[in-house]
Amino acid sequence: MKVPLLDLKAQYATIKNEVFAAVAGVLESQVCIGGPKVAELEQKIAAISDCKYAVGVSSGTDALLCSLMALGIGAGNEVITTPFTFFATAGSIARTGATPVFVDIDLHSYNIDPVLIEQAITPRTRAILPVHLFGQMCDMDPIMDIANRHALYVIEDAAQSITATYKGRKAGSMGTVGCFSFFPSKNLGAAGDGGMIVTNDHDLSAKIALLRNHGAKPKYFHKYVGGNFRLDPIQAAVLLAKLPHLDRWSEARRRHAAYYDERFKGARPITPIIASDRISIYNQYVIRVDNREELIEHLRANNIGCEIYYPLSMHEQECFRNLGYQPNAHPRSSKAAREVLALPVYPELTADQLDFVASTVLAKTQARAPMVT
């Protein structure tokens, strides 16, 4: 049996006709930039995120960059974020000329630890950029409280958490803006790159809409220096075809996660810990083990896909050496980077595949006592 980490062909097989028709519709219309498909997707993503406005952009990375630009963040500013994330989070901050300031994570959720945020605030801090990692939202109440007391913007990196909830509130709806990615491996993935920014602030959404198009209004008259951050209508059409399936897919991921949780109960791996006030969309099912190399080798020998998200904390990256962090500055993030391993959790997994993955993991880990979180 072969179990890839993600099987996009299996998903495509179930929706091929819808996707084909959607793409053909755009090609027939020859509306190649913007147009009704982008507008329809924006309206629908705003609705499922409980936000008033949404602006389609070219990727999750550009959603972050464009949001930071729209909020006027740049040289001389600091933005507080997590060191345990995909590079785009910290990279986007640095690209504006601002300084990413890393705050360690909580090892249960792998998300930024709100308790540590306040001590990182300086007169230069302009925003907090929490990342809802692996499908679970951050502990947003204390983050919003700190942001409000210090008059800071909150940019939610919800790239991995579209439709996830915190106390019934949707990812992307709590901060100043929320950023989504439609990278193909996300729960809602395009057939290429794509992203979206959601907000309840009308003026901000209007500024973002200009920035994604070189800041022009009207055409050839540039109010801001923006970029080409536009969402492609073919990608919007693909996403619209997939959108009606999103909740069912996320539900299947939750079922698979519950199955693994049950199988790994009392065994060595630390399974994902989802707070009782949150609903995760399990963009990844990430376990933590202290014999990771051995386990990876065993999984690969059994044709099971797995991946390390992420092997090196942001504060330890070569490109951020100038920031002056010691390798041990954020020990929980570094520990997570040494121990995490993502297992297949995609919706189309069969019962046999799930059983095979669980049994194969247990074969290399169950002789040991459970790890302590």
Query: What ranges make up the beta strands (E) of 241-350?
Result: 278-279, 285-288, 340-343
- For helices 87-95 and 60-70, give the axis angle rounded to 10 degrees: 40
Instruction: Measure the N-to-C terminal CA separation of the chain; round to a whole number of Å.
Output: 32
User: Which of 11, 49, 61, 334 touches ligand PLP (CB under 6 A)?
Assistant: 61
Single out the segment in contact with ligand PLP by CB under 6 A; choices: 29-37, 59-67, 212-220, 295-303: 59-67
Single out the segment in contact with ligand PLP by CB under 6 A; choices: 56-64, 107-115, 167-175, 211-219: 56-64
Residue with the CB atom nearest ligand PLP in the bound state: 60
Single out the segment in contact with ligand PLP by CB under 6 A; choices: 55-63, 147-155, 240-248, 269-277: 55-63
Q: Closest approach of Cβ 50 to ligand PLP, in Å?
A: 20
Dist CA 20 CA 16 (whole Å):
6
Dist CA 143 CA 116 (whole Å):
10
Single out the segment in contact with ligand PLP by CB under 6 A; choices: 103-111, 113-121, 122-130, 156-164: 156-164
The answer to whether residues 344 and 357 touch, using CB atoms and an 8 Å cutoff, is: yes
Task: Please identify, using beta-carbon distances, which residue of 195 and 226 lies nearer to ligand PLP.
Answer: 195
Dist CA 155 CA 61 (whole Å):
13
Could you tell me the two tokens for 1? 């049996």
Residue 90 CB contacts under 8 Å (≥ 6 apart), including other chains = 81, 83, 100, 102, 314, 317, 320
Q: DSSP for 114-159, please give it.
A: GGGTGGG--TTEEEEE-B-GGG----HHHHHHHHHHTT-EEEEE-T
Taking CB under 6 A as the rule, does residue 85 contact ligand PLP?
Answer: yes
- Residues in 253-292 that interact with ligand PLP by CB under 6 A: none
Q: Closest approach of Cβ 297 to ligand PLP, in Å?
A: 26
Taking CB under 6 A as the rule, does residue 360 contact ligand PLP?
Answer: no
Q: Closest approach of Cβ 358 to ligand PLP, in Å?
A: 25
Q: Closest approach of Cβ 212 to ligand PLP, in Å?
A: 14
Q: Closest approach of Cβ 210 to ligand PLP, in Å?
A: 21
Taking CB under 6 A as the rule, does residue 195 contact ligand PLP?
Answer: yes
The answer to whether residues 18 and 155 touch, using CB atoms and an 8 Å cutoff, is: no
Taking CB under 6 A as the rule, does residue 89 contact ligand PLP?
Answer: yes
Task: Please identify, using beta-carbon distances, which residue of 193 and 339 lies nearer to ligand PLP.
Answer: 193
Task: Please identify, using beta-carbon distances, which residue of 144 and 231 lies nearer to ligand PLP.
Answer: 231
Taking CB under 6 A as the rule, does residue 59 contact ligand PLP?
Answer: yes
Question: What 3 state SS string does 54-89 have?
Answer: EEEECCHHHHHHHHHHHCCCCCCCEEEECCCCCHHH
Q: Closest approach of Cβ 161 to ligand PLP, in Å?
A: 9
Cα–Cα nearest to 108, from 322, 320, 276: 276
Q: Among the residues of 195-291, which ranges form H helices?
A: 202-211, 233-242, 246-263
Single out the segment in contact with ligand PLP by CB under 6 A; choices: 39-47, 76-84, 153-161, 220-228: 153-161
Over the window 96 to 135, marking each residue x when it contacts ligand PLP by CB under 6 A and - when it does not, the resulting string is: -----------------------------------x----
Cα–Cα nearest to 97, from 117, 122, 119, 68: 68
Dist CA 1 CA 178 (whole Å):
40
Taking CB under 6 A as the rule, does residue 183 contact ligand PLP?
Answer: yes
Size, binding site for ligand PLP by CB under 6 A? 15
- 80 forms beta bridges with 101, 128
Taking CB under 6 A as the rule, does residue 136 contact ligand PLP?
Answer: no
Taking CB under 6 A as the rule, does residue 83 contact ligand PLP?
Answer: no
User: Which of 80, 159, 191, 357 touches ligand PLP (CB under 6 A)?
Assistant: 159
Q: Closest approach of Cβ 132 to ligand PLP, in Å?
A: 8
Applying CB under 6 A, which residues contact ligand PLP? Answer: 59-61, 85-86, 88-89, 131, 157, 159-160, 181, 183, 193, 195
